[in-house]
Structure 1
Amino acid sequence: MARPRATTDTALLDAAAAVLARTGSAGFTLELAGQQAGVSAATLVKRFGSKRGLLIASSQRWIDSIDPDPGSLPGETPLATLRRLSVRSYTDHSRPDDAANHVSSLAADLGDPELTRLLALGWHRKRSQLERLISRAIDAGELPNAPTPATAARTLFSLLEGSFLGWTVDPDGALLSILDTEFDNLIASWT
């Protein structure tokens, strides 16, 4: 009979995410991720096969976390839901060091065809989520001058990602405040 796992895959992936946020891809090692999780690097190899396998599992988990059809919180308008699920999705990257490490991980992902494919899937899923939310806000009369939901979602996604990348280069001000302002400026042209 197999011995039960003392540490879940979720806990191992949480540990890997914490190390990636702290070190970026360049400094990420299985040893550091294992230390964070309280296990050996060999445990990570046994579960995920390699560092690359762990990064692929982490990317897949990120994709799975994006709800393609999210609901609103009680009392929340469709536009408020759109703000929460667009701007607030950057909360984990609102410290300059974490943001820079996120961007270094992005660069590493672009060097690996499978990680690039997963990144594209995640971004597609996020844009689809934004498209649904924008469609609901249009149907509720909150965005009467918006372009088609697909166009609006691409525009909003590009604005948020571009603003985030710009802030990582010049982190002047609080990221979420900057994104709130950019969101408001765009939405003003659609109302």
Structure 2
Amino acid sequence: MPRPRTVSDEDVLDGVLALAHRVGPAKLTLAAAAREVGLAPATLVQRYGTKRKLLLAADRRGVERWVLPVEKAEHPSPLDRVVEGLVGAVDPDMTPEGVANSVAMLQLDLVEPDFHAETLRGARRLRAALERHLQAAVTEGELCDSTDVIALAKLLETAYHGALIGWALHREGSLAAWMREQLEAVLKASRVPSP
């Protein structure tokens, strides 16, 4: 019978993601990852095999943490579900350096086929959730009937990614406040004015 795990896979992968955001994936080592999560390097090798497989598993976990807040948003207002879901998808403790290192992780997502497949799957889920919330906003009268939901979902997705970089450059206020401001600006033109 295998011994019980003292540190869950979720905790390991969250710790590896946090480390990758602090030092970047190139500088992340199995030894440093093991120290981060309180396990022996041999335990990480036993669970994940290689640094690449560990990073892929962490990246997969990161995709879930990015998409789930939007998919699971439960605000009464569909537009609040969009904004709060996307704001909830960013780490409240993210630093500008962390954004830079997350861009380094994105390089893996864009270049390595296995990483890209996971990130693309997440991006498609994210866009589908945005489209669902936006269609509900049209149905409930929060957005104009003429709103192109597909185009607006793409624009919001682009604004989300751009807001991360913009905040890291300008460093004005919190990331969450900056993100909310950018998303609200995108939605403003399509909102039905309040009576």
Q: How high is the TM-score relative to the length of structure 2?
A: 0.86
Quick one: which amino acid aligns to residue 72 of structure 1?
Answer: E
CA distance 1:97–1:50, change in 2 (3 Å): same
Shift of 1:190: 0.2
Q: Equivalent residue for 2:138? A: 138
Task: Indicate whether 1:121 and 2:142 are aligned.
Answer: no
Structure 2 counterparts to residues 78-93 of structure 1, below 5 A: 78-92=78-92
Q: Equivalent residue for 2:20? A: 20
Alignment coverage as a number of residue pairs? 188
Q: Equivalent residue for 2:171? A: 172
Matches of 2:142 and 2:44 in 1, distance apart?
48
Q: Equivalent residue for 1:56? A: 56
SS of 2:170's equivalent in the other structure is: coil
CA contact (8 A) 1:79 1:134 kept: yes
Q: How high is the TM-score relative to the length of structure 1?
A: 0.87
CA distance 1:93–1:160, change in 2 (3 Å): farther
Q: Equivalent residue for 1:70? A: 72
Shift of 1:7: 2.2
Q: Equivalent residue for 1:11? A: 11
RMSD (Å) for aligned C-alpha atoms: 2.0
Quick one: which amino acid aligns to residue 4 of structure 2?
Answer: P
CA distance 1:146–1:115, change in 2 (3 Å): farther
Shift of 1:55: 1.5
Matches of 1:126 and 1:60 in 2, distance apart?
14
* Identical amino acids, percent of aligned pairs: 29
* Runs of at least 5 residues in structure 2 that lack an aligned partner in the other structure: none
SS of 2:2's equivalent in the other structure is: coil
* Runs of at least 5 residues in structure 1 that lack an aligned partner in the other structure: none
Higher deviation after alignment, 26-35 or 180-189: 180-189
Matches of 1:93 and 1:99 in 2, distance apart?
11
User: CA offsets per residue over residues 107-148 of structure 1, 9 Å max, x none?
Assistant: 233231111121111111111111111111111100115632
CA distance 1:69–1:102, change in 2 (3 Å): closer
